[in-house]
Amino acid sequence: MDDPAPDPEPVGEPSPRREPRTRLVLVVAGALVLVGLLLAWVDQQARSREDRDLAACGDQAYAAAVRADQVLGSMAEYIRLSLAVRSGLWDLMSGAAERARPGIDAALARCRDVEVLALHRTHVRERAAYVDYLAARAAQLDAIEADGRAAGESDSELGRLREAAFGDRP
């Protein structure tokens, strides 16, 4: 006679063959959750560091921009009345640009040194705005140092870059 069919597994009891597979799935899922949590923590730490570095870069950039404005503005006011008579006073603007340059260079170097992760798009744009403005301002100061009359030229692109970097700061 034929052998009877094997007894089915009792209902409600785990199959000995499925138990190791279930355990493996749980271990892998748990490991993935831990890796995800670790990556989120690392990303938050990177964002915090970038926030601090960009804030320091922005503050230094803004202070240097304001200082350059003050130095050049003061000299322009001083010589404005005399320009019609003595064109040689443009040399004073060259000297003022030279005095304003170290602050701009230091801020530019600091902002260029700020490292941001490419996936932090807001930080990438913020850093780029500071660097673009400071580089343009350094180029403007170079032109004024070379020929003080360049101080009298309007630069709408520099104004746009300043707005992108500092927004509505006074």
Q: If pLDDT is split at 50, 70 and 90, which confidence band does 17 have?
A: low
What pLDDT sits at residue 147? 86
Burial class (CB in 10 A: 0-12, 13-18, 19+), 7: exposed
Q: Token pair of 2, please?
A: 């034929």
pLDDT at 153 over 80: no
Q: In whole angstroms, how far apart are CA 120 and each of 3, 50, 131?
A: 68, 9, 17
Which tops the pLDDT comparison, 53 or 170? 53
Average of per-residue pLDDT values in the chain: 83
Q: If pLDDT is split at 50, 70 and 90, which confidence band does 155 have?
A: confident
pLDDT at 5 over 70: no
Which tops the pLDDT comparison, 75 or 38? 38
pLDDT per position as a tens digit, 108-145 = 999 999 999 999 999 999 999 999 999 999 999 999 89
Q: Which residue is it, tokens 């899922």?
A: 29
DSSP character at residue 81 = T
**Is residue 22 within 8 Å of 93, Cβ to Cβ?**
no
Mean local confidence (pLDDT), 22-43: 89
Which tops the pLDDT comparison, 77 or 92? 92
pTM of the predicted model, to two decimals? 0.68
